[in-house]
Structure 1
Amino acid sequence: MGHTLLCVLGLFLLNTLLYGHAEVSNRASLTLQPNWPQIFSGEKITLRCEIDGGGDTQWTYEWKPDKLNIPPRHSEYRINSVTRSHSGEYRCKGRKDSYSSTEWSNVIRLNVSPNKPKPTLTAHNAIIPVGGTVTLTCSVRGSADWKYYWFKRTSDSSVAQPIRDGVPDSISVSQGGLYHCRGGRGDPLFFTENSDKVTIQETVSNRASLTLQSNRPQIFSGETITLRCEIDGGGDNQWTYEWLSPGDSVTLNCEVEHPSAGWRFYWYKAVSDLSSYYSYELLPGSSNGTEQDSYIVHGQIHTAGYMCRAGRGDPVYYTDYSTPKFVWSGGQFVSVCPLKKQMLCN
């Protein structure tokens, strides 16, 4: 027994003489607070060195890289405004005395992005239905723990007003306007850049009614006509008006009275036909019907009439055609009523 103790003591003394220190069994553990996968320039972070089972020992600490210049009694390395120059690998160890220390801790790799992140703002719909809402979502890619701050403008020239502070990534809005968001996290708060703005339009309950000012059943090429847009229940509001320009897209909607399941929708355009009053030409992508009850006509450059009908079952049972709806374009007009073809005009 005595020989064994002498051998262990001899090895300890030999190690101390050769290398100047001895390692203790305690382990050093390095942590990053907050533990975010991505750090941005300007944020506050803390690296903390902890000794497992350190007890009441008065530890001193060594850090790598050596340039940190941290007082030896400090177990923390705090950076109040991190920069890209702080990127790199960090380790620490604890020292009991001049001759004994722990092994080096685990490595923390710090990667600091030099630029503030810019969140992405998306809207599940750009138009608020009457009495409804639209959901807006703000997100910062590849990082965590953000709360979001929301702003609204009534016009491009107005001042943005805060509407929500420090909320999760989605909100519902019921009013039209220009919206943007930004993210914030940490203490003190670190903010992202502002997102791009999205324009949300609100649908009011008033209905626009378009009338053709002409008491003639037929209109011929070269004649002058007037289209009048009136707002039902418009009151004293100062309305502005939008008219379709050549090339604008138009959304058609089709409904089945007493709706039930299984309907597919077929979309048609009124086409002049020498053998009849009008024929119905299926619109592209409509030959097998669409599950959606809406259809977008792209590049509307002529005034045209559109219809729909629904079908279901095998063989297909079809409803009647809908009443034709004419979409008036600000571009070249088609001849709505050729001679002897008045079916859609009366």
Structure 2
Amino acid sequence: MQKRKSRLKPKPELTSNPEGAALTGNTVTLTCHMDQSTGWQFYWYQHTQKHQKNTTDKNSYTVNIDSVSDGGQYWCRAGRGNPVYYTNYSDALWVNVTDDPKAVVTVKPEENLFREETVTLRCDIQGGGDTEWTYSWTVENTNYRNKYIVSEYKKQEYKISSVEHTHSGKYTCRGKTRDGQNSEISDAVTLTVSDETKAVLSVSPQKWLTEGDSVTLICEVYGSSTGWTFSWYRDDNDRKYKLLSDRKLHSQFCCCKSHKCRGERGEQVYYTEDSNTQPLCFSGVTSSVFLIISPNRTQHFTSDSLSLSCEDQSNSTGWTVRRYTDSEEMEDCSSIHWGSQTGSTCRISPVYTDDTREYWCHSESGENSDPVNITIHNPTIVLIQSEREVLVHHDH
């Protein structure tokens, strides 16, 4: 009697979608391919063929990738009938799992912006390897408390030209692979758009210089510190400001010159408003003139008159009394705002608390006396103090 030849058991083929590495937080669909008739059930195994994971009526099984432990080797086989007839196991399929890549947003020039500046946000996927990504951006507007997806921006860089207050808000991005796997959403970057700003100029260590002194002018943009460069200007003649090439000014100054600066940044350059002005005066090694205050008392009362005289040891002429205005400009006594000049004497009549200033003598040749601080208190106590000494004029 001839023996019946045994038929080989079928062997399914196991595939995955997506192929390659799987990201935590996503899913992988396994498919067990059988070239046989219907009626099969499908058995799914992970790590070993003895570790059955699930049974399905369909030839597909979805694995939720919650952690790296969900990766590893997978098998499938099919079975039907009673008693159950099993196919062979499929070949092992590796499911490689990596932690979800993290999207990170960077901002240029910075998060604190001013109206009409240009800002560029960039989305980078940390741990994304060589995978090709598309990008999506989400904006939560802080002014209107609404949240929306910027669907038209699929690129890695999100550029906003000429920002306005309406662009203030929280910006996030995430990446997506071609097969539909998503990165983690980035941490939010908050853009704050303010009105136009003004640079602020300060002087260190002092405004008054003698020969050999060095001084540094410091230009700052309050509320912002990133990406700025600065231009410097000096009043050379009749308050016509000339651009200076030096970024830090170390100098021996002749006469009194006002200085100012402004900040600029960005590829499409944004300029701040001009800063306040700062005067710098060169008084020489030894001044031959002294500023004398009369009457010779140290207390003055509101509505009194004050006389400021320039007494020159070399008997030169052409002296006038100067002081700073509230805006740090230099102003002569002959100004209609505060005094009248006769010869080398300036008369302030009457005096007010607003006459608390720094006063000095200035010659036509550009020489300056040491400055004198006059502080008028309310009630009307005037303290007169020189930076070097107190000079008291005695009536003859």
Scaled to the shorter chain, the TM-score interval is: 0.5 to 0.7
The equivalent position to 2:198 in structure 1, one of 107, 115, 118, is: 118
Letter in 2 for 1:152: R
CA contact (8 A) 1:26 1:52 kept: no
CA displacement at 1:42 relative to structure 2: 2.4
What CA distance in whole angstroms lies between the structure 2 residues aligned with 1:164 and 1:194?
17
Between Structure 1 and Structure 2, whose CA radius of gyration is higher? Answer: 2
What CA distance in whole angstroms lies between the structure 2 residues aligned with 1:70 and 1:81?
18
CA contact (8 A) 2:168 2:192 kept: yes
SS at match of 2:201: strand
What CA distance in whole angstroms lies between the structure 2 residues aligned with 1:92 and 1:110?
14
The equivalent position to 2:176 in structure 1, one of 69, 80, 95, is: 95
Change (3 A) 1:14 1:186: closer
Change (3 A) 1:147 1:231: farther
- Equivalent residue, structure 2, for 1:274: none
What CA distance in whole angstroms lies between the structure 2 residues aligned with 1:105 and 1:7?
37
What CA distance in whole angstroms lies between the structure 2 residues aligned with 1:178 and 1:250?
17
Change (3 A) 1:249 1:69: closer
- Equivalent residue, structure 2, for 1:30: 104
More RCO (CA 8 Å, sep 6+): 1
What CA distance in whole angstroms lies between the structure 2 residues aligned with 1:188 and 1:128?
39
Of residues 5-14 and 137-146 in structure 1, the stretch that sits farther from structure 2 once superposed is: 5-14
SS at match of 2:175: strand
Find out whether 1:201 has 2:281 as its counterpart: yes
Change (3 A) 1:14 1:92: closer
CA displacement at 1:210 relative to structure 2: 9.2
What CA distance in whole angstroms lies between the structure 2 residues aligned with 1:99 and 1:297?
76
The equivalent position to 2:114 in structure 1, one of 40, 53, 72, is: 40
What CA distance in whole angstroms lies between the structure 1 residues aligned with 2:137 and 2:119?
16
CA contact (8 A) 1:137 1:171 kept: no
Q: Which sections of structure 1, spanning at least 5 residues, go unmatched?
A: 16-22, 212-226, 253-293, 307-321, 328-333, 338-346
- Equivalent residue, structure 2, for 1:178: 258
- Equivalent residue, structure 2, for 1:58: 132
Query: Share of identical aligned residues, percent?
Result: 23
Of residues 188-197 and 31-40 in structure 1, the stretch that sits farther from structure 2 once superposed is: 31-40
CA contact (8 A) 2:357 2:374 kept: yes
SS at match of 2:231: strand
SS at match of 2:166: helix
1:17-53 Cα deviation digits (max 9, x unpaired): xxxxxx9843232222326352222222221112223
CA displacement at 1:190 relative to structure 2: 2.3
- Equivalent residue, structure 2, for 1:192: 272
CA contact (8 A) 2:219 2:261 kept: yes
Change (3 A) 1:100 1:4: farther
Find out whether 1:241 has 2:320 as its counterpart: yes
CA displacement at 1:137 relative to structure 2: 2.0
1:119-139 Cα deviation digits (max 9, x unpaired): 221224232224434432222
What CA distance in whole angstroms lies between the structure 2 residues aligned with 1:188 and 1:7?
62
- Equivalent residue, structure 2, for 1:10: 61
CA contact (8 A) 2:111 2:190 kept: no
CA displacement at 1:55 relative to structure 2: 2.7
SS at match of 1:138: strand
- Equivalent residue, structure 2, for 1:310: none
CA contact (8 A) 1:26 1:51 kept: no
- Equivalent residue, structure 1, for 2:152: 70
CA contact (8 A) 2:172 2:186 kept: yes
- Equivalent residue, structure 2, for 1:132: 213
Change (3 A) 1:297 1:62: closer
SS at match of 2:273: coil
The equivalent position to 2:235 in structure 1, one of 153, 164, 182, is: 153
Letter in 2 for 1:12: V
Q: How does 1:263-282 map to 2 (within 5 A)?
A: none
SS at match of 1:64: strand
- Equivalent residue, structure 2, for 1:273: none
What CA distance in whole angstroms lies between the structure 1 residues aligned with 2:156 and 2:150?
13
SS at match of 1:61: strand
CA contact (8 A) 1:63 1:92 kept: yes
- Equivalent residue, structure 2, for 1:232: 314
Change (3 A) 1:69 1:24: farther
CA displacement at 1:108 relative to structure 2: 1.3
Change (3 A) 1:4 1:90: farther
What CA distance in whole angstroms lies between the structure 1 residues aligned with 2:222 and 2:125?
35
The count of aligned residue pairs is: 240
CA contact (8 A) 2:137 2:153 kept: no
Q: Which sections of structure 2, spanning at least 5 residues, go unmatched?
A: 1-47, 67-96, 140-147, 293-308, 322-344, 360-370
